[in-house]
Every structure is written in structure tokens, then in C-alpha cells.
Amino acid sequence: MKKFMALSLAAMTALALAGCGSGTSATTAAATEAATEAKDTTAADTTAAETTEADTTVAESTSAEKKSSEKTYIINTDTTFAPFEFENDKGQLVGIDMDILKAIAIDQNFVCEVVPVGFSAATTALEAGECDGVIAGMSITDQRKEKYDFSDPYFDSGVGMAVLADSDIDSYEKLNGQNVAAKIGTEGCKFAESIADKYGFTVTQYEDSATMYQAVLAGEAVACFEDYPVVGYEISRGLGLKLLPNIEAGNSYGFATMKGENPELVEMFNKGLANIKANGKYQEILDTYIAK
């Protein structure tokens, strides 16, 4: 399980201690007096050094205590929903959602730990109080808003249908009597089920995108329904499917928390999102994963 933390940076102060020296005199009395003064000066310097060292220790201790007491937000996400969240060749969890969350955490100076568990498991954990928020290409819907507090939208998507690259299926009508694949709890699944009776096909649900795509490649399903930037990204990387041009209007993605549980987290997300859009970081993130 891959985790990352966007950590607040604490400033540290370096202190320098000054040293002193003494000379000799022509008479014993003068030498004694000088020695006494030197001794007093050394004692004073030592006391000052000890005081400074103690102050530094207290400052470091206070800083460490503040850092250790700072709340760490647990954020659950999907495992395979590229280009929004996925594991790269180095085993790192990356993607649009991950980069946006990291940039916002830095901008708003909060700490979070990201846990990839799958979309369905992420929402289940949120409702069970096992995490503070979910970012996983989660569409903002009226039904979900009854349970969750959503951030401002951070991406506008839509649902597309993908079939084998050499398939002759080019419309919903040709799905009659066939089986199609969709991922549990997604807008793609919701849309497929909403038109299944009309066009006479059945829907098989899968836990993750990779398994869903494999079902089509293996002939277990003739098509799959998925958010278009997700399946489009996989196709651009060599997935043997093609995306049909009829993209259905979809909902916007939002960051979610349980209703009334973490209003400060939603507020920080919104402020940070506005800031990274204003300074160009947001567009830089999108350009990294979605080719124009």
C-alpha cells in the first residue's frame, strides 16, 4: 500500500556561540585581578551559552510537539483510475487527483495520508468513519450530496463506451442481447444500467477498471462504459480498445467528506483549488496527463 504525505515545513534557527580570551600583566596583583575577571567572564559566557542552548532546546521541542499534534487527514482513493490515480513504473501513486491533492495540501499547509483501496471500498470506509475524505474521480450527484459534503468541482467529465479495436459495434442498438462491463459505483455503471432495458443488454459490474477492461479484451463483454478521459488515457497507452464518439454528458468530479464531519477540510480544498488554478499549477497538472 503506497502512501504519501504532504508535510508542513517548520523553520529552524541556528545559534552561534562567541568565545573570549585573556592576556598577562606585569605584576602579580594585576595578574590575579585579570585572572579573576577572566574567570567571571568565562562563567558569564558559560551561563549565557547554557541559557541559549536551553532556549533552543525548548524551541525545538515546541516545534516538534506542534508538528506531532497536527492532525493528519486520511484520504482514501481508487487504485486503478488513470489518469486520475494509478501506480507508475516506480510503484508510486500518481495521477491528476494525486497531484491536485498534493498541490492543495502544500498551498493550504495541511497534512494528509493517501490510502488506495478501490472506489467502492473508499466510499464504504468514508461512511464507516475510517477515513476523512475521498478523492477518486468521484462525480458530484444529488444522491451523493445527501450523504457527503463536496468540494467545488475540480474536473468536468463525461461517460463513453469503449469496444474492441476491431469491433463492428458502433451504437447502443448493436448491444442488444449482449453483455457489457462497468465498474461498481461509477457514473459509467449508472449510465449503462439506465439504458440496459431500452437497448436489451445486461451489465456485469467489476471492482476496478483493469478487470473491467480485461473482460472486454477476453470476450466476456462486448463493451465497457467508463469516464472518457480514463479509458481514453488507457487507449493512448496501447489498450486494445477504441472509444466511440458519442460521449454522454457527465457530472463534475469533487472531493468528498461525510456531511458535517470535516468542513474545514472542504474549505481548505476549495481555497487551495482556487489558488492553484490562479497560479497555473492546476493546468500544468492536467497537461501532464491529458494530451491535447
pLDDT at 81: 86
pLDDT at 251: 84
Q: Output the DSSP codes for 14-59.
A: ------------SSHHHHHHHHHHHHHHHHHHHHHHHHHHHHHHHH
Kindly list the averaged pLDDT for each block of 10 residues, start to end, along the chain of length 292. 36 32 35 42 43 38 44 94 92 96 98 95 97 96 96 95 97 98 93 97 95 97 94 90 90 96 97 98 91 54
Indicate the Cα dihedral angle 33, 38, 43, 49, nearest 10°.
160
Of 87, 79, 82, the residue nearest 118 (C-alpha): 79
Burial environment of residue 208 by CB neighbours within 10 A (0 to 12, 13 to 18, 19 or more): middle
pLDDT at 237: 86
pLDDT at 284: 96
3-class secondary structure, 163:
strand
pLDDT at 50: 42
